[in-house]
Amino acid sequence: MDLLDRFARGDLEAFEILFRQYQRDVYGWLVRLTRDPGAAEDLTIEVFWRIYRAHARFDATRSFGAWARRIASNAALDHLRRARRERPAPAAAPARAAESAARHDVQVRAERAFLTLAPKLRVVADLAFVEGWPQEEIAEALGISRSAVKARAFRAMRQLKAALQREGFEP
Amino acid sequence: MTRMTDDRARELLRQAVPIPEWEHDRSADLWPRVRRRIDEGHNPPPAVDWVLAMALVALYLLQPSLLGILLLHF
C-alpha cells in the first residue's frame, strides 16, 4: 500500500513521513500569508493537526501538497482574522532623521491602508500585487476559482486605492 | 478629482509590504509538537464531562419527566 493510502487510513508513521516531506513547504506558505515567522511556526503545528484529523477525507489519488496548502490557507486566514480584531493599526512614524523618517512614514501609512482590507482580500492583494503571482496559481493555492481570484483582486485594488487616498497619498 | 492608478497603488504596496524573507531553521523539528497535539486530541473526556453525564443519569432515575424537558432543547 502506498504512503498516501496508508495516511488516508490513519497510519501515523505514514503521516510522519509526509510531515517531514511537506513541513517546509507549508511553513514557507504560512510565512508568505501571515508575514510572521513565529505565528507561522505555531500555525504549521495547527495545520498538520488539522490534516491528520481529516485523514479519512483525503483522496489518495490527489496531490497531498495542494491539499495541505489549502488547509494552510484556511488556517492563515483564520489567524489573520483573529489578529485583525486584536492588533491595533501601526502607529505614526516616530521622529527620525528626515529622509529616513519620511520613507518610514510612507511605509507605515501604506501598511495601514493595506491592513484595512479584509484578510481574504489582503491575501489575494499580497500574492497578486506584491509577489506578482498569476491568477491560476493563486486560485490553486487558495482552493478557490479563478473568477473568485479576479473578483477579489478587483475589490482589493479598489479598496486599497481608496484607503491610500484616505491616508493622504496623492494619486 | 484625479483617481489613483493601479500602478501607483502597487508601488506603494510593495514599499509597505515587502516580500518576506525567511529561513526555516532546519534544526527545528516540529514533529514532537505535532505528535503531542494529536495525542491531546485522543485524550478521554475531562472529569467534568463524566460528572455531568452521571448527574444526567441520576436525574433520569429520580425525575424522568425533567430529563424529557431537557432533551427538548437538543
Q: Is residue B57 part of a domain?
A: yes
- pLDDT given for residue A97 in this prediction: 63
What's the complex ipTM? 0.72
Using CA atoms, how far apart are residues A83 and A98, in angstroms rounded to an integer? 32
CB nearest to A32's CB, from B20, B24, B38: B20
Q: Whole-number mean pLDDT of chain A?
A: 89
Q: Could you tell me the CA-to-CA distances from A140 to A27, A40, B53 in Å, in that order? A: 17, 20, 46
Q: How far is B17 from chain A (nearest CA, A)?
A: 7
- pLDDT given for residue A1 in this prediction: 66
- pLDDT given for residue A113 in this prediction: 93
Q: Is residue B58 part of a domain?
A: yes
pLDDT band with cut points at 50, 70 and 90 for residue A92: low
Q: Are A77 and A123 in contact (CB under 8 A)?
A: yes
**Closest CA relative to residue A50, chosen from A68, A66, A33:** A68
Long-range contacts of B36-41 (CB under 8 A, 24+ apart): B37/A45, B37/A46, B37/A49, B38/A12, B38/A49, B38/A52, B41/A49, B41/A53
Q: Which of A31-35, A143-147, A151-155, B33-37 shows the lowest mean pLDDT across its residues?
A: A31-35
CB nearest to B2's CB, from A28, A103, A171: A171
- pLDDT given for residue A71 in this prediction: 94
B44, pLDDT greater than 60? no
- pLDDT given for residue B11 in this prediction: 92
Instruction: Residue B8: list chain A partners with CB under 8 A.
Output: 169, 171
CB nearest to A160's CB, from B13, B18, B34: B13
Q: Is residue B66 part of a domain?
A: yes
Q: How far is B64 from chain A (nearest CA, A)?
A: 38
pLDDT tens for each residue of A8-40: 999 999 999 999 999 999 998 998 888 888 899
Say how many C-beta atoms besides its own lie within 10 A of residue A119's C-beta: 19
Q: Is residue B30 part of a domain?
A: no
- pLDDT given for residue A19 in this prediction: 96
Q: Is residue B36 part of a domain?
A: no
Give the pLDDT mean for B37-63. Answer: 78
- pLDDT given for residue A37 in this prediction: 86
8 Å CB contact of A52 and B34 = yes
The alpha carbons of chain B give a radius of gyration, in whole angstroms, of 29
Q: How far is A136 from chain B (nearest CA, A)?
A: 20
Note down the domain range covering B59. Answer: 45-74
Q: Is residue B26 part of a domain?
A: no
CB nearest to B30's CB, from A23, A28, A126: A23
Using CA atoms, how far apart are residues A30 and A77, in angstroms rounded to an integer? 10
The reply to whether B59 touches chain A by the CB within 8 Å rule is: no
- pLDDT given for residue A141 in this prediction: 87
Q: Which residue has the higher pLDDT, A153 or B52?
A: A153
Q: How far is B7 from chain A (nearest CA, A)?
A: 9
| Percent of chain B surpassing pLDDT 90 | 23
Which distant-in-sequence residues (6+ apart) come within 8 Å of A23 by Cβ? A44, A48, B30, B31
DSSP-H helix ranges across A59-130:
64-86, 98-115, 119-125
Q: Sign (positive/negative) of CA torsion A162, A166, B1, B2?
A: negative
Using CA atoms, how far apart are residues A62 and B64, in angstroms rounded to an integer? 51
Give the pLDDT mean for B66-70. Answer: 71
Q: Is residue B70 part of a domain?
A: yes
Q: Are A4 and A64 in contact (CB under 8 A)?
A: yes
Q: Is residue B14 part of a domain?
A: no
A140, pLDDT greater than 70? yes
pLDDT tens for each residue of A52-87: 999 999 998 889 999 999 999 999 999 998 887 776
With 0.90 as the threshold, say if the pTM is over it: no
**Tally of structural domains, chain B:** 1
Give the pLDDT mean for A135-139. Answer: 93
Q: Which residue has the higher pLDDT, A43 or B26?
A: A43
